[in-house]
Structure 1
Amino acid sequence: MGSFPPLKNDLMVRAAWGQKVERPPMWVMRQAGRYLPEYHQAKGNRDFFECCRDPEVASTLTLQPIERYAGLVDAAIIFSDILVIPQAMGMVVEMVDKKGPHFPSPLLNPKDGQYAELIGRDVDVSKELDYVYRAITLTRKKLDGRVPLIGFCGAPWTLFCYMVGNSKLSKECKTWIYKYPKETKALLQKIAELCVDYLALQVKAGAQLIQVFESSGGELSPSSFKEFSGPYLAYIAKHLPLKLKELGLDRVPMIVFPKGAWYALDACCDMGYNVVGLDWLHDPAQAVKIVGDRPVVLQGNADPGILYGSRESITKLVGNMVEGFGWASRKQGWIVNLGHGITPFVDPEDLKFYFQEVHRLTKTE
């Protein structure tokens, strides 16, 4: 890994460990992305996954919001994609312009030869995803300690949904869990083990926090979440620290983001993650009550659509969050974020105003 410059702004790390801090740290999901004009310039005519695989390009894109919002944003998140794990497992993933990711040969059923291949394949994430680790190391160096760097992966259930070719109706993933539960769980376990290895190697390369994206959490009913998501999220939270120890590395704060699974907040607080991300369907004050006296930090949770709104609406929403998360009295337990990633066509100046309002409304007199 080599040595990196010392961290000048460790607010995000301290807050994620649950410490009292002078103001809530903030970053946003998809902050390095297509809403920025400089993103399109740096991306050029490269395919999305080409950008992920080129450490120089990936690090440039990761740094763009840090440079644009200098002094306002408290963490960088490596420019990559959750679907690099299915790619490492041997599946083909294409990024279709204006439509998103597409699996030309999804998993059809357990008798599909591809399923047996995936279950039986010995996947070496250290080799297959080397480009991610190189991008992380390069980005850490370029950051020069300005803010910490977040590494991430997709959660097993979310990756599984993509791998079976999930459509809007969730027909494919629902068929699997209700018709082939045993085979589904075998694949989820395999993915969970790969996630642990992948995240540990990201930390070795220089990631200072990690986030697990359970973006398809809301596809599951409460009972199905307990069966097909929760156990695999808990597996990652339990085994990542063990893997880091095995590699001679210190623990890092772990964040889980179970989008849409509002009913699972209580369970997620007991999984072993330091931070639980909230989407915009949560009421902050209610979420704080659910956490209770457990040492769990909440992250979120502005509706990303607020960035299409008026400045007055942004100010009002930020004020509601500051009050709902009890910032004035607690001074801990909250990392500011949106309730999901930035959506397209957002004016970067409106995001800047959002950041400035958080600063203004949370600064200690």
Structure 2
Amino acid sequence: MNSEPGHTLDARHPLASGLTANSRIVRAYQGERQAVTPVWFMRQAGRSLPEYRELRVGTSMLDACLDPAMASEITLQPVRRHGVDAGIFFSDIVIPLRLAGVGVEIVPGTGPVIAKPVRTAADVAELTSIDPQALDAERLAPIAEAVGRTVAELGETPLIGFAGAPFTLAAYLVEGGPSKDHVRARTLMHSDPQAWSALLDWAADLSGRFLRAQLEAGASAGQLFDSWAGALSLEDYARRVAPSSARALSHVRGLVYEVEAPDAATPAADGPPPTRTTTRNVPLVHFGVGTGELLAAMHDAGADVVGVDYRIPLDEASRRLGGLVPVQGNIDPALLAAPWPVLEAHVLDVIARGASAPAHVLNLGHGVPPDTDPEVLTRLVAFVHAL
């Protein structure tokens, strides 16, 4: 495995300096239940905000992602507007492909489109001849600069970095673009396991390096998105996909920092409670769409937290995770357009079900729909924080 060695974060990192280490969301990700449920929204940065649409006029999606000033501003917009507990870095899962030299564009109304789909063993060999280590500090400089700009503005509010899971990247590469059933990708997986494994490991190393760049530059948590893993059976996921997801996470699994934490083993005397230096890893979240049957396997790939989509109740998700894993989710995005009393009741139900896990970060069970009224999100955050 070509994973990079772990190391202690720079002392100026927001986690290592203590700026974000005790934030609600970081502590919840580490399994400490918070008095106020932390909340952020997948796809909170972007298409639902008028200020985003105004800023993006005349700039393509991938160009916006690689413009540090623009990517930072787009990341900050929903934090300013909604008061969420974290920013999510504005980028796209295909950015590592673009930086590595793969022909890819985001076509409006369609999504990522690959110039030369990868359909055969020869195609895989040609693609994987690109060394993932070519995605070096120089090529990743726009990402690191955008993260640095963003965390400087966020202060005590954590930034979450993200990357696409290997299966989702491979699905785009094989299909050539979005697909409803990913038949070509699943066919390659079974017909040529060796080529499939090579493709996924290559994608894992690209995504891992992309995520590591964000975390080292100042992000306080990372999330691996597997948008299309729900197309897989548990057996196929566990045998053919999970090892590569573990490989992607191995690039960042060893990133650690030190904090002063309460020392429960030492009796408190008069004065401040005793503390001791504790080493913690940067928290990692693994989220997939339609992955209710895969939750335990996704956790086993190396994540601290499992994101849950809207198709399975959080208490059932927690049960499938043994009641031992912090969860994130899982408001149904469709209810953002429902009357407020309906949404409010749904949110209260989600929070109640999330109480079955050690800790819970409230989020959507997928991304913010583009036609969402931003005022609903702002009201929702205030409502949750007031609880």
1:117 aligned to 84, 109, 126, which one? 126
- Contact between 1:10 and 1:148, CA under 8 Å: does it hold in 2? yes
| Equivalence for 2:112 | 101
Q: Residue 212 of structure 1 contacts residue 257 of structure 1 at CA under 8 Å; is this kept in 2?
A: yes
Contact 2:85 2:158 in 1 (8 A): yes
Offset from partner CA, 1:200-223 (integer Å, 9 cap, x none): 222111111000001111111121
**1:1-365 correspondence runs (5 A):** 3=12, 7=19, 10-70=23-83, 73-112=84-123, 115-123=124-132, 124-126=134-136, 127-145=138-156, 147-164=157-174, 165-166=176-177, 167-242=179-254, 251-294=281-324, 296-326=325-355, 332-360=358-386, 363=387
1:127-180: CA deviations, max 9, x gaps? 3222111100111112123x1011110000000001111533423212211222
The separation in 1 between residues aligned to 2:288 and 2:220, in whole angstroms, is: 21
State the AA in 2 paired with 1:333.
A
Residue 239 of structure 1 deviates from its aligned partner by 4.4
Report if the CA contact (8 A) 1:157-1:228 is conserved.
Answer: no
Between the aligned partners of 1:62 and 1:162, the Cα distance in structure 2 is 25
- 2:265 aligned partner: none
Change (3 A) 1:104 1:196: closer
TM-score (norm 2): 0.85
Shift of 1:108: 2.4
d(CA) in 2 for partners of 1:200, 1:233: 14
Identity %: 35
* Contact kept in structure 2, 1:4 and 1:144, CA below 8 Å: no
- 1:280 offset after TM fit, Å? 0.3
- In structure 2, C-alpha distance between the alignment counterparts of 1:256 and 1:281, rounded to whole Å: 16
Deviations 1:238-296 (A, max 9, x none): 44223669xxx9730000002212101122233331110000011112112222343x2
- Asked if structure 2 preserves the Cα contact closer than 8 Å seen for 1:86 and 1:163, the reply is no
**Judging changes above 3 Å, is the alpha-carbon distance between structure 1 residues 293 and 312 closer, same or farther for their aligned structure 2 residues?**
closer
SS at 1:128's partner residue? coil
Query: Secondary structure, in 3 states, of the residue corresponding to 1:168?
Result: coil
1:111 Cα deviation after fit: 2.3
State the SS of the aligned residue for 2:294: helix
Deviation at 1:324, TM superposition (A): 1.2
Kindly provide the amino acid, as one letter, of the partner of residue 190 in structure 2.
Y
Deviation at 1:4, TM superposition (A): 6.0
Letter in 2 for 1:192: A
Q: By how many angstroms is 1:326 displaced?
A: 2.1
Give 1:199 shift: 2.0
Runs of 4+ aligned structure 1 residues displaced above 4 Å come to: none
Greater percentage in helix: 1
1:93-152 CA-to-partner distances (Å, cap 9, x unmatched) read 11112222211221121123xx2222222232223222111100111112123x101111
Code of the residue aligned with 2:220 in structure 1: it is Q
C-alpha separation in 2, matches of 1:252 and 1:176? 34
Where does the alignment leave 5 or more consecutive residues of structure 1 unmatched? none
Structure 2 Cα separation of the partners of residues 19 and 243 of structure 1: 20
Task: Write the distance in 1 (CA, Å) between the matches of 2:80 and 2:255.
Answer: 33
Quick one: distance in 2 between partners of 1:343 and 1:23?
A: 26
TM-score, with normalisation over the residues of structure 1? Answer: 0.89
Structure 1 residues 196 and 250: CA distance shift in structure 2, 3 A? farther
Q: Distance in 1 between matches of 2:364 and 2:93?
A: 18
Change beyond 3 A, Cα 1:267–1:62: same
- Give the Å deviation of 1:320: 1.0
SS in structure 2 at match of 1:22: coil
Over aligned residue pairs, what C-alpha RMSD do you find? Answer: 2.1
Contact 2:351–2:362 under 8 Å retained in 1:
no
**What amino acid maps onto 1:345 in structure 2?**
D
Match of 2:32, SS? coil
Shift of 1:74: 0.4
Contact 1:4 1:141 in 2 (8 A): no
Question: 5+ residue gaps in structure 2?
Answer: 1-9, 258-278
